[in-house]
Amino acid sequence: MIPRQTISILSATLVALLLAVVSFIAVGAETASPTIRVVRVADVINPVVADFITVQLKAANEADERAFLLELDTPGGLDTAMRTIIQSILASKAPVIVYVYPSGARAASAGALITLAADFAVMAPGTNLGAAHPVAIAPGGGGDKNETMMAKVVNDAVAYARSIAQQRGRNVEWAERIVRESISTPASEALDLKVIDLVAADEAALLAGLDGRRYLREGKALTLETAGSVLVYAEMSWRQRILTVLSNPNVAYLLLMLGILGIFFEISQPGVILPGAIGAIALLLAFYAFQTLPVNYAGVLLILLAIVLFVLEIKVASYGMLTVGGIIALALGSLMLIESSEPYLQISRMVIFATVSVCAVFFSLVLWFVVRTQRTRFVSGLEGMEGERGVADTDIHTEGRVFVHGEYWDAFSAEPIDKGERIEVIRVVENLRLEVRRVKDEG
C-alpha cells in the first residue's frame, strides 16, 4: 500500500505541472507575434495573377491577420483582372497595403488603380505611379465609331478611378488626370499630392510608418497595428507559375506555331504519331494561354487559313502559289493576333519574323520534297515498266513479242519494228501487253 501522504504529494505535483503547461501555452499564445501576409507581384496583371492575389487575400481574412501587404511592380494589365483584384481589396475586412517596391519599380495603368484602391498606399523612393489611360483595342481604323467607342471607354475609366479615389480619400483630380492625360508621378510628388500615404525605403520603414494609422471599415474608424508584426510571404504554386509563363504572349504564340507544325507533319506523314501528339498538346496550351490575352479572331482565322493553304499545297499542283499565300496569311495573322497597343501584351516583332521565316523554310522544303517525289519515275510494278528498254524478239506491229527486264512480253507498236531492234516501253495496257517504240540511234 502506498501511504496516503505520498499520494497527496504526487497529486499536488501533477496539478502543478498541469497548471504550468497550461500557463506556458497561454503565454505562448499571447506572446505569438501577429502576422501580415505579403504577396509580391512583378508581372503583368493577368487572370492568373488576379486569382493568386484574391485567394491569398481571402486566406488573410480567414486567418484574421493584422493586414495584407501587396508589393507591386507592374507595367499594367487586363481590365478584367484589375477589376477582380480591386473588388477583392474593397471587400476585404483586413486592411490592405499596396507597396510600390523596390526602388525603380512602377505601378502603371492597372497597377495605378489597384494602388488607389488600397487602404494604405506606399511607394519606395525612385518609383512612379500613373499612366492609366485605356488603349484602343483595334488601332488603325474605325473612324467616327471608333472615336465614339474610345470616348466611352475613357469616360468609364475616369468614373471608375474617381470613385475609387473618393472612397479612399485620395486626390480625385489626379485620379482623373492619370486616365485622361496618362500622367505618371514619382513617389515624392505623389505624397505631396495626397495620392499615397507614405514613402518608405524598405519594409521595416513601412511597418514603422503605418503603425497607429487609422482606416475605415463599415463606417467605423479602426487603428492599424503593425508594431511587432511578422511578415509571412506567400508564393505561387507550381501550377500558377506555369500558367503565368503560358500567359506571356510570345510563349502562347510559339506554342501555337509548334502545334500547327506538329499537326501539319502528322497530316502529311500519317502514322508518325509523336509530332501529332506534341502538336495537340502545344495547341491546347496555346488555347488556354489565349484565354488570358486579348485575342483578335481575325488573326486566328488568317492563321487557320494559312494551315489550310499549306495542306492543300500537298494535294494540289499550284507551283508554290498556295505556299506563298499561306506564308502571307501566316504573317498577317501573327501581326493581328493580339489586339492591344500595350507593348507587354504584344507579340515581339522579332519573334514573329523569326517564326514566320522558319515556317516558310519548313513548308518550302516540304513542297520541294513533294514535287521531287511526284516527278520521280516508278522503279517497280507495272508503272515501273514505262521507259524500260529491251529487244524485239519477233517482228512487231499489231502484235509481237519483246524481251524486257529479263522477261518475254506480248507487245505492239504504232510502226513496224524488225526483229532484233532495240525498243522502249511506252505503257502497259490490258492483258499485260506493252506498247513499244523503236529506240533511235543513241549516238
Question: Is the confidence at residue 441, as pLDDT, over 80?
Answer: no
What is the average pLDDT across 121-141? 77
Residue 426 domain-assigned (yes or no): yes
pLDDT at 273: 80
- Categorize the per-residue pLDDT at 137 as very low, low, confident or very high, splitting at 50, 70 and 90: very low
Residue 128: strand, helix, or coil: strand
Residue 98: strand, helix, or coil: strand
Question: Is the confidence at residue 139, as pLDDT, over 80?
Answer: no
Residue 422 domain-assigned (yes or no): yes
Both 83 and 224 in a single domain? yes
Both 235 and 254 in a single domain? no
Domain that holds residue 431: 383-438
Residue-wise pLDDT for 242-251, tens only, equals 888 888 889 9
Both 333 and 416 in a single domain? no
Question: Is the confidence at residue 383, as pLDDT, over 80?
Answer: no
Both 67 and 103 in a single domain? yes
Both 79 and 172 in a single domain? yes
Both 208 and 269 in a single domain? no
Domain end among 328, 347, 375? 375
Residue 8 domain-assigned (yes or no): no
Of 211-220, 341-350, 418-427, minimum mean pLDDT range: 341-350
Residue 118 sits in a domain whose CATH number is 3.90.226.10
Question: Is the confidence at residue 62, as pLDDT, over 60?
Answer: yes
User: Strand order in 128-130's β-sheet?
Assistant: 106-108, 128-130, 184-186
pLDDT at 382: 56
Both 269 and 413 in a single domain? no
Residue-wise pLDDT for 217-234, tens only, equals 888 999 999 988 899 999
Residue 411 sits in a domain whose CATH number is 2.40.50.140
Alpha helices by DSSP H, listed for 118-237, are 143-167, 172-180, 187-192, 203-210
Give the DSSP H/E element, type plus range, for residue 312. helix 297-315
pTM to 2 decimal places: 0.70
Tally of domains in the chain: 3
Domain end among 375, 393, 426? 375
Residue 318: strand, helix, or coil: coil
Residue 21 domain-assigned (yes or no): no
pLDDT at 55: 95
8 A C-beta contact, residue 285 and residue 246: yes
User: Strand order in 96-100's β-sheet?
Assistant: 198-199, 120-123, 96-100, 67-72, 35-41, 230-234
Both 203 and 271 in a single domain? no
pLDDT at 338: 84
Both 177 and 74 in a single domain? yes
Residue 420 burial by Cβ neighbours in a 10 Å radius (0-12, 13-18, 19+): exposed
Residue 9 domain-assigned (yes or no): no
Q: Tell me what the pLDDT averaged over the chain comes to.
A: 84
Domain end among 218, 239, 260? 239
Both 301 and 208 in a single domain? no
Both 393 and 355 in a single domain? no
Both 198 and 63 in a single domain? yes
